[in-house]
Structure 1
Amino acid sequence: MATPLARFASLSEEPDPARARRAAREAYHAHGIVLINPEWLSGWADRKQLEILAEKLFGKRKVDHGQG
């Protein structure tokens, strides 16, 4: 029996890092959209390059969120 809240059921699931990475890959290949989680990059230099590009496009982050 479906309830009016059934559409929100997936919102209570834990985030799936593998699914997020697959979605990012699909967005890139299908639309040329680049979505990169800094945690996916293993080296400091790569993470720093990502930060520099993001700041160039969007400006400095107002809150660090423990990423730097």
Structure 2
Amino acid sequence: MYVFFGLVIIGIGCLNLFFPSLGWHMKEGWKVDGDSEPSDTYLTMTRLGGLFALFVGFIVLVTQFFS
């Protein structure tokens, strides 16, 4: 079960790392009429969150294999 959670966390981290504006478009972009994009700060923080999720996902996988 922990392997599944680890892989899901890694998947979410990869999405945040490689496609940071996807979450913004799903949450806020549909509300805006016209051309609007997320700020650079939002994109940077989303990428950092993705790196953190990757780190946590790998820790979950590694601890499952050694326990």
Is the TM-score greater than 0.5?
A: no
Higher Cα Rg: structure 1 or 2?
1
Q: Which structure ranks higher in relative contact order (CA pairs < 8 Å, sequence separation ≥ 6)?
A: 2
Higher helix proportion, which one?
2
Q: TM-score, normalised by structure 2?
A: 0.30
Q: TM-score, normalised by structure 1?
A: 0.29
